[in-house]
């Protein structure tokens, strides 16, 4: 009896590792393709917003879409349903990714997690300082967090274009860095871009969370059963003055990581596998289509708006690499951490450059930071320029790095 126990534990551990590897491979595959889809959606938005049909671009997103509910109709523009509704599903996937990485992935062990954590903090602090160095004026300083985020889809997608010459540990480092960036971005939104809290809304959100835990305790396995508590959490956050999309993060973090039987795929993997393609191929491109349409006609980069554009762009394409590479070098130099096998300083430079692709999350934070349309457009322009430079330089250095690896150089 005792002789069989170690073998059973080994089998379960191997099964768990295989599931984790399969999920990671699925994640990277979806992200690689979705980065291209996201790029196409961005190009369409820019062309549409600067075409003779530009008025229709804004008219479409302003259309009122009603949501009938028990005799009451909740009306909001289409733009709201995309940014505050569908993006909740995006944040749900972010939450499940964080939960899974903490449980069994790159963030599950302190010695593995500490280096990308420190690198991520460097990649947040330096861009914020660069932005603020250009934008100390009241109003403009509210956008300090815009260049602190990394777009996972774009970054991993660009890395995938470099082919299999890039070692697996480099991909894991970038993935862990981007996920930690998401965690920091979520905390920033909750702490700095949330107005006064309404206690009644917090109570409603807490009720939804309790319902979700109750359903888990009872053993409800169908995802449809959790739609009602999820909607209650979302509505509670909206009532409380917290950005409702953060409800997705909360729900993702409480998704079970263990299944009642070894033969059943854990709920967190089922949820992530089911939703991730929808997020990557539909929700994020739709978000880009609805928000990346910056009109260059009549744009006035004056009155300080030019410094918003400059600050965001420079913080992304220069601040991110300096912060990520600098923090990594300092952590290794002081002996706190070591680079993983096959991760060289050339690949750390590549990770730093790709971390400057802010796009989705940066635009999302920009919309929370600025109510002034002129400043918002200037910030979006900075995100587009900074991300484009990061993509171009990252691909250039990535190609050179891959060539050096093939020649056996470090």
Q: pLDDT tens digits for 216-226? A: 888 777 778 88
As a whole number of Å, the end-to-end CA separation of the chain is 51
> What's the rounded Cα separation, in Å, for the pair 149 and 358?
5
Q: 73 by DSSP, 3-state: which?
A: strand
Q: pLDDT tens digits for 277-290? A: 888 888 888 988 98
Higher pLDDT, 54 or 132: 132
User: By the 8 A CB rule, do 150 and 183 touch?
Assistant: no
User: By the 8 A CB rule, do 142 and 367 touch?
Assistant: no
What average pLDDT does range 295-313 have in this prediction?
A: 84
Higher pLDDT, 205 or 91: 205
* Residue whose structure tokens are 């879409």: 65
* Residue whose structure tokens are 């990277």: 28
Task: Place 321 in a pLDDT band, splitting at 50, 70 and 90.
Answer: very high
Query: What is the model's pTM?
Result: 0.74
Mean of the per-residue pLDDT values for the chain? 83
Q: Find all residues with CB under 8 Å of 236, minimum gap 6, and list them.
A: 201, 202, 203, 204, 205, 206, 207, 208, 247
What residues pair up with 123 in beta bridges, in sequence order?
Answer: none
State both tokens at 83: 């940014």
Q: Find all residues with CB under 8 Å of 403, minimum gap 6, and list them.
A: none
Task: Place 16 in a pLDDT band, splitting at 50, 70 and 90.
Answer: low
Q: pLDDT tens digits for 95-130? A: 888 788 778 766 677 766 789 899 999 999 999 999
Q: String of b and e for 28-66 (b: at least 16 CB within 10 Å)?
A: bebbbebbebbbebbebbbebbeeeeeeebeeebeeeee
* Domains of the chain (ranges, CATH numbers): 18-194+243-406 (1.20.1530.10)
Dihedral through CA 46, CA 48, CA 54, CA 60, nearest 10? -110
* Residue whose structure tokens are 């993983």: 340
Higher pLDDT, 62 or 5: 62
What average pLDDT does range 322-328 have in this prediction?
A: 96
């Amino acid at each position: 009896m005792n002789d069989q126990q170690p073998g059973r534990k080994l089998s379960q551990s191997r099964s768990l590792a295989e599931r984790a590897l399969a999920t990671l491979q699925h994640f990277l595959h979806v992200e690689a393709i979705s980065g291209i889809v996201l790029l196409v959606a961005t190009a369409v938005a820019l062309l549409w917003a600067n075409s003779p049909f530009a008025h229709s671009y804004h008219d479409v997103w302003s259309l009122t879409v009603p949501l009938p509910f028990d005799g009451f109709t909740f009306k909001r523009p289409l733009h709201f349903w995309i940014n505050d509704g569908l993006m909740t599903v995006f944040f749900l996937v972010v939450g499940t990714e964080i939960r899974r990485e903490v449980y069994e992935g790159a963030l599950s062990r302190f010695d593995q997690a500490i280096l990308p954590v420190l690198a991520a903090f460097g990649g947040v602090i330096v861009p914020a300082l660069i932005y603020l160095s250009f934008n100390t004026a009241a109003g403009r300083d509210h956008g300090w967090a815009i260049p602190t985020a990394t777009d996972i889809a774009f970054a991993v997608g660009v890395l995938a274009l470099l082919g299999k010459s890039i070692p697996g540990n480099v991909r894991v480092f970038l993935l862990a860095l981007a996920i930690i960036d998401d965690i920091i971005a979520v905390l920033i939104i909750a702490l700095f871009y949330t107005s006064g809290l309404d206690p009644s809304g917090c109570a409603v959100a807490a009720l939804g969370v309790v319902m979700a835990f109750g359903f888990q305790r009872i053993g409800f396995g169908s995802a449809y059963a959790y739609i009602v508590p999820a909607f209650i959490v979302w509505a509670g956050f909206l009532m409380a003055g917290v950005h409702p999309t953060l409800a997705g993060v909360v729900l993702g973090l409480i998704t079970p990581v263990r299944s009642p039987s070894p033969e059943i795929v854990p709920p967190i993997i089922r949820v992530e596998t089911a939703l991730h393609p929808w997020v990557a191929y539909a929700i994020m491109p739709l978000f880009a289509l609805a928000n990346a349409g910056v009109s260059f006609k009549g744009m006035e980069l004056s009155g300080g708006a030019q410094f918003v554009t400059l600050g965001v762009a420079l913080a992304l394409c220069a601040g991110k690499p300096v912060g990520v590479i600098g923090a990594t070098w300092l952590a290794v130099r002081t002996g706190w951490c070591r680079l993983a096998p096959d991760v060289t300083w050339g690949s750390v430079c590549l990770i730093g450059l790709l971390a400057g692709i802010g796009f989705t999350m940066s635009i999302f934070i920009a919309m929370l930071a600025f109510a002034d349309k002129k400043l918002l457009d200037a910030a979006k322009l900075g995100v587009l320029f900074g991300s484009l430079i990061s993509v171009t330089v990252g691909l250039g250095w990535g190609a050179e790095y891959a060539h050096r690896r093939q020649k056996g150089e470090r």
